[in-house]
Amino acid sequence: MVEFSGWREREDPVAGLARAIQQTVAQVLPDQAGAVAWDDRSLGDLLHAWAEHTGADLLLVLDQFEEYFLYHGSGGRRGDVCRRISAAVNCPDLRPTS
């Protein structure tokens, strides 16, 4: 399970989420930590690559996601982050949980 709650930071939240995934993998599978690079790929592709590489299902908890809207206003970047997360959630290559 990957927990991410860095919505207040000024950096790109999707990059922060990618880092949180890598850190979580490093805690569970230390020898696999550097196996998948961020490389500006889409979040869905990144999730797929980590799941495929580790042979595990990734569970993302976007803790306090509503804070993103509170701290980042209504600018264009906000919509971009929402689109990127939505595209990952709806990625057909990722297996839905039941």
Task: Give the pLDDT of the chain (98 residues) as one tens digit per residue.
Answer: 888 877 776 777 888 888 888 888 888 888 877 778 777 778 888 888 888 888 888 777 878 888 877 776 666 566 677 888 888 888 877 765 54
Please name the helix (run of DSSP H) or strand (run of DSSP E) that holds residue 83, with its range, or none.
helix 76-89
pLDDT of res. 98: 47
Evaluate whether 88 touches 44 at the Cβ level (below 8 Å): yes
Token duo for residue 16: 């922060």
- Rounded Cα distance between 38 and 49, Å, is 10
- Rounded Cα distance between 65 and 81, Å, is 11
Evaluate whether 93 touches 87 at the Cβ level (below 8 Å): no
